[in-house]
Structure 1
Amino acid sequence: MPSIQDIILNEIFADPSPSVGMPDCEFVELFNRSDKPLNLFGWSFSSGSRDPVFLPSFVFEPETYLVLTGSSCLDDFSDTINLLGFSDFPALPNYGEKLILKDRYGKIIHSIQYSNKWYLDEAKEEGGYSLELIDNNYPCITTNNWRASSSSSGGTPGTTNSYSGEIIDYPYARLVTIENVQRTACELIFNESLDSSSAANASNYTLENTDIQITPLPVSPDYKLVELHFHPALEYARTYKLILSSQITDCAGIGIGHVASAFGIPQEPDSADLLITEILFEASEEVPEFIEIFNNSGKVIDLQNYHLISFDPYTDTIKSVKQITSTSFQLMPGNYLALTENVQLLLSRFEGIDQENLLQTASWITLSNEGGKTGIQTNQDKILDIAVYAPEMHFNLLDNTKGVSLERISNSQPGTQPKNWHSASTNSGYATPGKVNSQSLMNSEIEATVFSFHPESISPDNNGIDDFITVTLRFSKPGFLSTVKIFSQQGILIKDIINNELCGTEEQYVWDGLGADNERLAMGYYIMLFEAWHPDGERLRDKRAVLVLPEKK
């Protein structure tokens, strides 16, 4: 009886045209890597959902090759190689497909999901070259173990592969994502095939700080997917940490290493559960465009099939809709995530960023250097948050805003309010993708009085330390007309922060520490005057000193 991977798929010729020397015929090559001859009578080969072909009686000797192709192509190959032809040989799509080889009893001996990305050569991907397995000692490993043939004729049917040897960059198995999370089950997706025995061992899985029992079920034929079943059931609005033991190995027997991954049962978000907290719209050579989002709720939010949207500046209607990810990606409560089209560039520019807080999107919206409006939309087309951005929203004393992000100051204030955004600090490197903003203001820092501001001193140098003052107004009723002005100690008006503005019950405004013409002010104390008037006759008035400091080094 044959064992799994005694006979393997060793070469795939899916795109014969244009020919560089081989027959204009699709084929697959098998290799008997066992130490025994095997009769292939009743074996089957299939490509995707197409009907399989069944092999005739053929004694396949050890360490030899066998080519399967269409029967009309038999005369086109060398008569020195082993060949089997079929009138109904299944098509091999150029883009890729799942290929399965089964024995006469229906047991899967070898299967792979090939891809046109395996060529690793754009010219050869256009056709005429086969895909060759590099190291047949590890046929279950696909990443870095297949590539376009280097043969001058385009392939090596029935003979040793041109790239036969050892894998240069071994692709260690890792957990890619946790999908389809329900109360009683979820799915683990790995990048490479696992050893089914170690993957089926329940002792290799733990939910930290719980008594939940886990039953794992590795899924054939490639064992890249493991179903986990839970008893008792998981709870909503709770984050779990899954621990995978290093005793789980890939199909070559190499351990995956210790893995800890957070997940939970996803819930539908409400408006403002997911916020846009940072936007870099003027990219530089070192920094790509990105949009940072923040889970402002206690829910686990799955971003699968969510979208970034942009608006037409003239009609204010949705102009562009771009998918964030087609696969499951869970954003935990209180976590930040930077969305970009170039994760590697962000990682190379900003030290100390956790790659788990960055996501390369499936597609990308265009962020105009002239400014605009963007938003985030659920898979049910519900808009959760909208944010504006523009060059004039940057710190006025910045000479160059390329590679500088706009950071949201307060999550309790709308993202459509330009005064709720500020340039990221110099000390942060002018951006904070995937982590707390350098210019963020926590609600706990705001006093619960009618008129307050924080901090009490300001040094407007954009170094991330007291770069601006947030003025908070809290009223017992709506309808107040309010004014906030800055005066010198001599009573000279320096700047209007607001002037007779109609206020709601709670408002926030930002002063950047500059004068009316965006000039830097002399060091010293200034007076902040607050006045409010209500149509019912109530009047409020307060004034306080604010200290302007020189640049902090």
Structure 2
Amino acid sequence: MKTLFIVITLLSPLIAWNQVVDDFSDGDFTANPVWTGTSANYIVNASQELQLSNTVAATSYLTTPHSLSSLDNMQWEILVRQTFAPSSSNFGRVYLTSSSADLSTNPDGFYLQFGEAAATDAVRLFKIVSGVSTQICASPDGQIAASFATRVKVIRDNAGLWELYVDATGGTNFGTPYTGTDATALLGTHFGVLQTYTASNATKFFYDDIYIGAEIVDTQAPNLVNATPITNTQVDVLFNEPVGGTTLLQTSNYSFNPSTTVSSASIDGTNQALIHLILSTPLTNGQSYTLTVTAVEDIFGNVATNLTGNFTYLVGEIAVKGDLLISEIMIDPSPVIGLPELEFIEIYNKSNKFIDLTGWKIGDQSGDGTISSGFINPGQYKILCATASMTDFPGSSGVSSFPSYNNSSDDVVLKNNSGVIIDKISYSDSWYQDPIKKAGGYTLELINPNDPCSDASNWIASTSGTGGTPGSQNSVYSITPDTQIPSITSLIALSPNYVEIHFSEGMDSSSLVNATLTTSPNLTVQSIFVQSAFSNQAVITFNENLALSQYYTLSYGSISDCWLNNTTVTGSFALADVPQVGDLIINEILFDPATGGSDFVEIYNRSSKVINLKDLFIANYKDDTIQLTQNYFMRPGSYAVLTPDSNYQKAIFPEAVLGTFYNTSLPALNNDSSTIMLLYNNLIIDQVSYSEDWHLSLIDDTENKTLERIHPEGASSSASNWHTAAEAIGFGTPGKINSQYMTGTISSTFGTTEPIFSPDNDGFQDVILFQYNFESGMTATLKIFDSQGREVHTLFSSELLAQQGAFSWDGVYSNNQKAPVGIYIAVIEAFSTNGGKQFAKRVGFTLAGKLN
């Protein structure tokens, strides 16, 4: 309590020179002033207190001359600390004046007693004459019955009135004195302290801040220390000293802004510096108030007027789900755009409640951190960050063990101090909706805090130039309500009798459960399951099992989204069949995209089945295998384009068909040659071993030019069944029928359905297609002759044929020269592998060209 003692010394102009002042701050009790007695039993400790320091039971004392010439209008003050429960064997005395320097002789004088038998211990003032002690006054019984640190002040006036002031807290709020009268002239010569103790308490007496001298007259008016709301109808007003006066307990003496009515005022029972105000009008939570005290005086009659104090009444209210929202997250702060390179979470108080965050949790998928403290007010944004990061985010609340969030995906979970989840999001880096900002330095921001669903579509990367808006309204903030009706994004039939319906947004679950659902052909609904209140999907169970590859149409209504936009939706679904060899074929390939572009592989369903690509694999011979994990239902005769970048294909190929792209990584497709396989359950559904030589030999550059399959029934790895896509349509047809597509049937064993072709790569009859239908086990040679009977090209030689198939010629000679317009003859010779039956046939055809 050195500060209090310094205040006393500053009043020295009011104090006579015959005084003793000692706070032991010099670390010495042998000088300034000089203390004598059983000196070996004392020290000045590290807290600059005089401390008894013995090891055995004893009685010890120290005294110093007080140099007083009279006891009239004198004052004594001391801080006494005894860290044990006093008793008749363990007590202390402070001699205000003693007739002898040796206190062990029981000298005449006046002393304060600290400790006695039983539990009635009080601070007592005695007069002692010839060994007989007479009590003058005392504080209440039991006040120092346990360990204590008490400041005592004693004043005697010139009429012999003694006033005993006690602050049991060790401060200077002494309150009303305890009084007694004794005018005996026992001036004495010394002031001192004496202790009687057992060995266990031989170090437990402490003294500090001693003053002996003329009465210190208080001329300072009281000050208002603080006003503290205890409840919504009680405010405690604390002054810096005991107060009184005729207006002290008048309710009109106290006024509040904003106004509230005081119904009563009372002084505290133990602290006369503390006033309790009871209000008839409750305080408003979160409201700041100014209290004005019109007039108050201290016990010396010093009057203060118009004292003011400010306070805010703030009580934590119970939060429920939806009151607080996770509104912004920084999970990848590098590279720095403008914000500190630190992770943080921002929450928003959507409610009208004042919420105490102390003990709340913020976590991820692996654990929680604890919010140390802090209120969040209605409409306020609050930053939650690691405790060490608080200086970088003013006004934030620190979190011990702040979670380390994953950049790609994770959960952010906000729980109250009872562990109840108030808000939770499961983010992924796709939420940025921007590949540049996805790389780091930008926050993810909530768009509409009023969105009842608040799914992934309600989040996006910050548009702030600094990368985020921690602690303030989001840069993407919008409270525009959703007026769009929901739609079906996919219908997935699952064996034997389930259908998953996926919607474009979160839905009102009650509308999904209560809506009417019909199908054609007719199915009977057994149940409708919705996982959560605002789920974007429902699972329909039918009583009947679904037929494979049977298309059903569905009507579902009336249903509503989270915003209660109402509609009836329709769609179709089919239970996919299991693909077998040849059901799906590789139909078009881009293996040489421009720099920065991406490959694609087009799949064609040539079966009569509905086939789901999910769980198929696309692979090459180098164990580079990619599983297709997304549902994609292919109707008979439909196409699917597998590619890592559908935007590239749409930009390069004008004939690309929207809605046919399946975004997936692909195995490596080399520019010279590779083998591509389509697999299901380790069964090779189709396989193509392509070569760059399969392109039209007359083109110089294969970049951004696809290879198209000519005949869907032709051999997958036959060069003659592939051709460069037509130039006229942009060298590619992803998602639609090939520009070089040719089909048809022949009635003979060998022939062509179109006896004329024009190989100008314009997409119309660019090749001539030869078809055959032989007995199995035939080996054949096919050559082309011009009208002069000269051999110009060998299409194949001694090749083992299937029972039926097709071959094509692109009008280029074996010497890689373009054939001129004219009549040509195809000659096929075939024989059985056992040397048996032979077959030979000639087919004439025309190579045409455009007139100049």
TM-score, normalisation: structure 1:
0.80
User: How do residues 45-444 of structure 1 correspond to structure 2 at under 5 angstroms?
Assistant: 47-50=363-366, 61-68=377-384, 78=394, 83=397, 87=400, 92-101=405-414, 110-119=423-432, 130-138=443-451, 140-143=454-457, 145-148=459-462, 150=464, 152=466, 155-157=469-471, 159-165=472-478, 175-178=488-491, 181-190=494-503, 192-203=505-516, 205-213=517-525, 215-220=527-532, 223-242=535-554, 248-254=559-565, 260=571, 262-284=572-594, 288-311=598-621, 318-323=622-627, 325-351=628-654, 353-361=656-664, 363-378=665-680, 380-442=681-743
Q: What SS does structure 1 have at the residue aligned with 2:456?
A: coil
Per the alignment, residue 460 of structure 1 pairs with 759
* Cα distance in 2 for residues equivalent to 1:459 and 1:17: 60
The count of aligned residue pairs is 533
Alignment of 1:39-50 (within 5 A): 47-50=363-366
| 1:490 corresponds to | 788
Q: Does 1:539 align with 2:838?
A: yes
- Offset at residue 169 of structure 1 (A): 12
Query: Take 1:388 and 1:435, find their aligned partners in 2: how far apart are those partners?
Result: 22
Give the Cα separation in 1 of the matches to 2:844 and 2:388. Answer: 93
Map Cα deviations across residues 39-90 of structure 1 (whole Å, 9 max, x no partner).
67999766454466899999865323455556777787645x6x4x665665
Cα distance in 1 between the residues matched to 2:435 and 2:772: 61
1:481-528 CA-partner distances (Å, limit 9, x unpaired)? 433333333333333333444434334322223334343334333333
- Letter matched to residue 514 of structure 1: V
Q: CA deviation at 1:6?
A: 4.0
Distance 1:289 1:552 in 2: 37
Deviations 1:85-125 (A, max 9, x none): 66566554443323355789998754322234445677876
- Give 3-state SS (helix, strand or coil) of 2:830's partner: strand
> What SS does the aligned partner of 1:401 have?
coil
Output the CA distance in 1 between the equivalents of 2:434 and 2:817: 56
Secondary structure in structure 2 of the residue aligned to 1:200: helix
**CA separation in 2, counterparts of 1:227 and 1:112?**
23
Is the contact made by 1:528 and 1:545 (CA closer than 8 Å) also made in structure 2?
yes
The one-letter code of the counterpart of 2:718 is Q
Structure with higher Rg: it is 2
* 1:229-254 deviation per Cα after TM superposition (whole angstroms, max 9, x unaligned): 22323222323345566x64443445
1:5 Cα offset (Å): 3.2
- SS of 1:219's partner is coil
With over 3 angstroms needed to count, the CA separation of the structure-2 counterparts of 1:107 and 1:254, relative to structure 1, is: farther
Task: Specify whether residues 54 and 236 from structure 1 end up closer, same or farther in structure 2 by C-alpha distance, changes over 3 A only.
Answer: farther
* SS of aligned partner of 1:348: helix
Matched to 2:444, the amino acid is L
Q: Please say if residues 28 and 68 of structure 1, whose CA atoms lie closer than 8 Å, have aligned partners that are also in contact.
A: yes
- Alignment check: 8 A CA contact 1:463 1:552 kept: no
The 1:33–1:472 alpha-carbon spacing in structure 2 relative to 1, beyond 3 Å, is same
Determine what percentage of the aligned residue pairs are the same residue. 28
1:38 to partner: Cα distance: 6.8
Once the two structures are TM-superposed, the CA of residue 292 in structure 1 deviates from its matched residue by 0.6
Q: Structure 1 unaligned segments of length 5 or more: list them.
A: 312-317
- Contact 2:576–2:612 under 8 Å retained in 1: yes
Deviates more, 1:162-171 or 1:284-293: 162-171
Q: Report which structure shows greater RCO (CA 8 Å, sep ≥6).
A: 1
Cα 1:419/1:257, change in 2 over 3 Å? farther
Contact 1:202 1:216 in 2 (8 A): no
CA distance in 2, matches of 1:56, 1:176: 44
* Farther off after superposition, 382-391 or 116-125: 116-125
Deviation, structure 1 residue 387: 0.5
Q: CA deviation at 1:399?
A: 4.2
For the 8 Å contact 1:31–1:65, the answer to whether it is kept is yes
Alignment RMSD? 4.2
TM-score, scaled to structure 2: 0.54
Q: Contact conserved, 1:202 with 1:215, CA < 8 A, in 2?
A: no
2:823 counterpart of 1:512: no
Q: Which runs of 5+ in 2 are unaligned?
A: 1-317
8 A contact 2:782–2:826 mirrored in 1: yes
Q: Which has the higher strand share?
A: 2
Partners in 1 of 2:445 and 2:637 — Cα distance?
A: 46
Alpha-carbon distance in structure 1 between the residues aligned to 2:568 and 2:703: 40
Show the counterpart of 1:29.
346
- Residue 822 of structure 2 corresponds to which residue in structure 1? 524
The aligned residue for residue 772 of structure 2 is 473
